Amino acid sequence: MNDFWILLTAGLVACSCSLLGCFLVLRRMAMIGDAISHSVLPGIVIAFLLSGSRDSFWMMLGASVLGLITVFLIQLFQQSGVQSDASIGVVFTALFSVGVVLVSLFTRQVDLDLDCVLYGEIIRVPWDTMTWAGIDIGPKAVWSLGLVLLLSGSVLGLFFKQFKLCSFDPAMAAAVGIPVALFHYVLMGLVSVTTVASFESVGAILVVGMLVVPAATAYLLTERLGTMILYSMLTGVISSTGGYYISVWMDASIAGCMITAAGGLFLLALLFSPSHGVIWRKWRQRRMEQTA
């Protein structure tokens, strides 16, 4: 039964992250996912200090606010003439450092440390349960990640055309009256909430892998956004499930094996994708030379 809860949690993390990751990859904003996953740390600490609780709602609220602040600062620096990569690097390292300082100063006596936030430990998920009317209804992580996935899926489903147009042609989206900035910040808010909801299972650093690698893999396999989302989520689930069993076999880090498995699937897509695969391109070039 413990394996079931671990795999379910991993699958929810993979689906939540890869769903949003498709839009980040299409917008060429993959590194913003990295920035948010690090810079939300001070938001988590401040939320804990103000509420005195490690309740997921306050953590998500604090992380979401800091995520939006991160995006706002990056946009502000870019508009001021700072290069995009430099803006991202400055903002996320500065905010992450502030979070590290706050953790070391104010949370020494509490189970809110850097290992918990950065690396997580999915193996503990089955024992951190919640009750409703005196009945054990399962791990907290499953419920929080399920709600986050439902939220992201609902928002993206309701405004799919708007998000799609904003991702492929923001100038045209603005021309037809779509509030591009609003949808941009909504997407970043969803990324922030998903990131903090995944902390307890895979940690902040490895969330970046699930945000980017499955979506990048799917990008190599199809030209359609709907199919890309499906392939991305499928890749995330396969890599998380396969990574778990690899970790059991090797007695290694579960989260690390999951991202390694995702990297392996990306490599296969890079080599053998019918449209973008290196080997397929070489094979087609050779056939063209032979028939010429």
- The whole-angstrom separation of Cα 189 and Cα 187 is 5
Residues 6+ apart with CB under 8 A from 28: none
pLDDT digits (tens, 9 = 90+) for 190-235: 887 887 777 766 676 678 888 899 999 999 998 889 999 999 999 9
**Does the structure show a pLDDT above 90 at 49?**
no
CB 29 within 8 A of CB 92: no
d(CA 254, CA 235): 17
Query: Which amino acid is it at 212?
Result: V
pLDDT, residue 280, reads: 74
C-alpha distances out from residue 9 to 117, 229, 243, Å: 17, 19, 13
From CA 8, how far away is CA 67, in angstroms rounded? 26
What's residue 232's pLDDT? Answer: 95
Residue 180 has pLDDT above 80, yes or no: yes
Alpha-carbon span 220 to 231, nearest angstrom: 10
Q: Report the 10 Å Cβ neighbour count for 191.
A: 32
Tens of pLDDT, residues 61-90? 777 788 778 888 887 888 888 887 788 888
Is a pLDDT exceeding 60 seen at residue 151?
A: yes
- In the chain, DSSP finds a helix count (H) and a strand count (E) of 14, 2
User: What is the structure's pLDDT at 152?
Assistant: 93
Torsions phi, psi for 224 (to 5 deg): -105, 135
Q: State the pLDDT at residue 120.
A: 64
Bridge partner residues of 129 (DSSP): 139
Cα–Cα dist 237/210, whole Å: 10
Angstrom distance (rounded) from CA 159 to CA 154: 9
What's the pLDDT band for 185 if we cut at 50, 70, 90? Answer: confident
What percent of the chain lies above the pLDDT cut of 70? 89
Give the confidence band of 56 by pLDDT, cuts at 50, 70, 90: low
DSSP codes joined into one string, 154-207: HHHHHTHHHHHHHHH-HHHHHHTT--HHHHHHHHHHHHHHHHHHTHHHHHHHHH
Task: Check whether 281 has a pLDDT greater than 60.
Answer: yes
Residues above pLDDT 90, as percent of the chain:
23
Of 147 and 92, which is predicted with more confidence? 147
Average pLDDT, the chain: 82
pLDDT of residue 45: 79
Higher-confidence position of 268 and 35: 268
The contacts of residue 79 (CB under 8 Å, 6+ apart) are: none
pLDDT tens digits for range 84-129 = 778 888 888 888 888 878 877 776 655 555 555 555 667 777 777 8
